Amino acid sequence: VQLQAFGGGLVQAGGSLRLSCAASGRTFSTYVMAWFRQAPGKEREFVAYISRSGSSTYYADSVKGRFTISRDNAKNTVYLQMNSLKPEDTAVYYCAADLSYTGTNNKYDYWGQGTLVTVSS
């Protein structure tokens, strides 16, 4: 599967953005999908994942209550709605996919190219 993330940009603290990740292929619904992020000078970190059907989600503590992951299997797209953004949310955001792995580590087999989110104070 090929992944393309988009929707990043510059936003003020307290604002919102919605990231999208479009996947190629006809088997999107068989992949667990996730979002990770990497801030300047830091390691890539887990943000959220969503099950194949979308019925189950899991978030990093740092974004819980502010970010929402969702997916539309008919559109081969996963989303990350980000509200109440903080300067510390500034990072390149990556979407990832895997046929079997469900977790918070960098074990996903497929990765998008990343989209930059910058939150100004």
Q: How far apart are CA 33 and CA 19, in angstroms?
A: 13
pLDDT digits (tens, 9 = 90+) for 55-101: 999 999 999 999 999 999 999 999 999 999 999 999 999 999 999 99
Q: What is the pLDDT of residues 26-58, one digit of tens each?
A: 799 999 999 999 999 999 999 999 999 999 999
Confidence tier at 25 by pLDDT (50, 70, 90):
confident
Helices (H) and strands (E) in the chain, counts: 0, 11
pLDDT at position 89? 98
Q: CA geometry: angle at 76 spanning 5 and 118, to 5°?
A: 20
